[in-house]
Amino acid sequence: MRKKNYKIVSLFSGCGGMDLGSEGGFEYLGEKYKRLNTEIVYAMDFDEAICNIYNSNFPNTCHVADIRHLKSKNIQKHNILTGGFPCQSFSVVAQNPKRLGYKDDRGKLFFEMCRILKEKKPSAFVAENVKGILSANKGEAFPLIIKEFEKTGYHVKHNILNAVDFGVPQKRERVFIVGFKNKKHYNKFKFPSPLRRNKNVPLSKVVIPDCEVDEKYFFSDKAINGLLKTKHLESMNKGRVQKLDEPCNTVGAHLAKVSLNSTDPVLRTNGRYRMFTPREVARIQSFPDNFKLSGSRTTNYKALGNAVAPVVMWHLMKNIIDAMESGQL
Ligand SMILES: C[S@@+](CC[C@H](N)C(=O)[O-])C[C@H]1O[C@@H](n2cnc3c(N)ncnc32)[C@H](O)[C@@H]1O
């Protein structure tokens, strides 16, 4: 393989949605996402079972590690740092000027990403989070998060990208924060625009025929009848039963616990209700069918539901590389 110019370190790698998109070289729904000029040189996550999924799909290893104990001297020199830091509960303590605190231990993880940026000084970084981060702490936390990234020495932009705009059959809005050391790269960089080449891709494109779906994914008549006693069919279907001719609602990390009582998306096919299989979730998230799944159903749902849609990340990384290349001219 030709040497790749842009070395990437991936934090909170999960099963590698961001990483697959960052490297490219895969096919999804008949589209080719070409191999980018990038190479993941280090990946890490503290969930061993999820790292196992990663490790059966990438040539590099996902190290099982807690970021709080990760020493930057143990990470290779790199050009781009990526990380979907876990959603956190920040407290914006009443103080003048306001600054970020953290309500629980997980709140620290964002600061760990900043620490690595400070110590390794890559040319660019990408952070990802749920849309709710924009309104966390009555909208006060997000500007402070951006300020914190700027304080580490980066010019920072952010935007919401919706997977449905990139040919993925899922309405999934996520906030992406992109930073560059070099002002020229920052000026050149543009977030990818929604693709207008085709209409929204419907869920039916990725759903597996019922005859190929194991019985364990179907809800029992008992569960349905029990619920119908308390709920009208229409209100039961509202929000959770997905229309096959439209993109799916966001798939989350808790599909293992999905019930007809929850608001997580479910399917109604041939008059029966069922949950999505892990392979269907992978497809809804734009993982190609040759992406290997392993471990328990719970692990698969968690890893896939938490992932960045690879196709979205591919478009974003392509624009980052383009900005860094044209910014050198
Ligand atoms: C939102 S998911 C990241 C998904 C990933 N970006 C992808 O596209 O597949 C966040 C990940 O952070 C990991 N994590 C949470 N706390 C951690 C810690 N202290 N150290 C390392 N990883 C942690 C979780 O196991 C989870 O896989």
Task: State the Cα–Cα distance between residues 230 and 223, nearest whole angstrom.
Answer: 12
Active site residues: 87
Which residue among 8, 10, 11, 12 is best mutated to probe the pocket of ligand 1, counting the most ligand atoms within 8 A of its Cβ? 12
Instruction: Return the pLDDT at 105.
Output: 63
Cβ–Cβ < 8 Å for 19, 10: yes
Task: Indicate whether 225 pLDDT > 90.
Answer: no
Average model confidence (pLDDT) across the chain: 90
Q: Prior bond to 310 cis, omega within 30?
A: no
Instruction: Return the pLDDT at 63.
Output: 98
Q: How far is CA 191 from CA 175, 181, 187, 253, 315, in A?
A: 11, 17, 11, 26, 9
Instruction: Return the pLDDT at 14.
Output: 98
Cβ–Cβ < 8 Å for 110, 88: yes
Instruction: Return the pLDDT at 327.
Output: 62
**Does ligand 1 come within 6 angstroms of the Cβ of 46?**
yes
Instruction: Return the pLDDT at 135.
Output: 87
Of residues 297 and 88, the one with the higher pLDDT is 297
Which three-class secondary structure state does DSSP give residue 155? strand
Which three-class secondary structure state does DSSP give residue 86? coil
Cβ–Cβ < 8 Å for 182, 228: no
Instruction: Return the pLDDT at 239.
Output: 60
Task: Indicate whether 1 pLDDT > 60.
Answer: no
Sequence-distant (≥ 6) Cβ neighbours of residue 47 within 8 angstroms: 14, 64, 299, 302, 303
Cβ–Cβ < 8 Å for 10, 82: yes
b/e sequence 271-286, b meaning 16+ C-beta within 10 Å: eebbbbbbbbbbbbbb
Q: Per mean pLDDT, which range of 3-7, 37-41, 58-62, 292-296 is the poorest?
A: 3-7
Compute, in angstroms, the gap from residue 177 CA to the centroid of ligand 1.
17
Which range among 123-137, 232-246, 286-300 has the greatest average pLDDT?
286-300
The ligand 1 atom nearest the CA atom of 67: 20
Instruction: Return the pLDDT at 328.
Output: 63
Q: What's the distance, Cα to Cα, between the start and end of the chain in Å?
A: 26
Task: Indicate whether 204 pLDDT > 90.
Answer: yes
Q: Could you tell me where in the chain the CATH 3.40.50.150 domains are found?
A: 6-197+292-326
Of residues 262 and 180, the one with the higher pLDDT is 180
Of residues 157 and 229, the one with the higher pLDDT is 157
**Does ligand 1 come within 6 angstroms of the Cβ of 82?**
no
For residue 119, the tally of other CB atoms under 10 A from its CB is: 12
The ligand 1 atom nearest the CA atom of 84: 6
Compute, in angstroms, the gap from residue 154 CA to the centroid of ligand 1.
23
**Does ligand 1 come within 6 angstroms of the Cβ of 50?**
yes
The model's pTM is 0.94
b/e sequence 154-177, b meaning 16+ C-beta within 10 Å: bbbebeebbbbbbbbbbebebbbb
pLDDT bucket at 238, cuts 50 / 70 / 90:
low
Sequence-distant (≥ 6) Cβ neighbours of residue 220 within 8 angstroms: none
Of residues 91 and 121, the one with the higher pLDDT is 121
Task: Indicate whether 190 pLDDT > 90.
Answer: yes
Task: State the Cα–Cα distance between residues 271 and 150, nearest whole angstrom.
Answer: 53
Task: Indicate whether 139 pLDDT > 90.
Answer: no
Task: Indicate whether 215 pLDDT > 70.
Answer: yes
CATH of 6-197+292-326, picked from 2.30.30.40, 3.40.50.300, 3.40.50.10490, 3.40.50.150, is: 3.40.50.150
Query: DSSP readout, 186-201?
Result: HHH--PPPPP-SSPPP
Which residue among 57, 111, 302, 306 is best mutated to probe the pocket of ligand 1, counting the most ligand atoms within 8 A of its Cβ? 306
> Which tokens is 43 given?
């990946």
Instruction: Return the pLDDT at 303.
Output: 97
pLDDT bucket at 253, cuts 50 / 70 / 90:
confident
Instruction: Return the pLDDT at 93.
Output: 67
Share of the chain above pLDDT 90, in %: 71
Residue nearest ligand 1's atom 26 by CA: 14
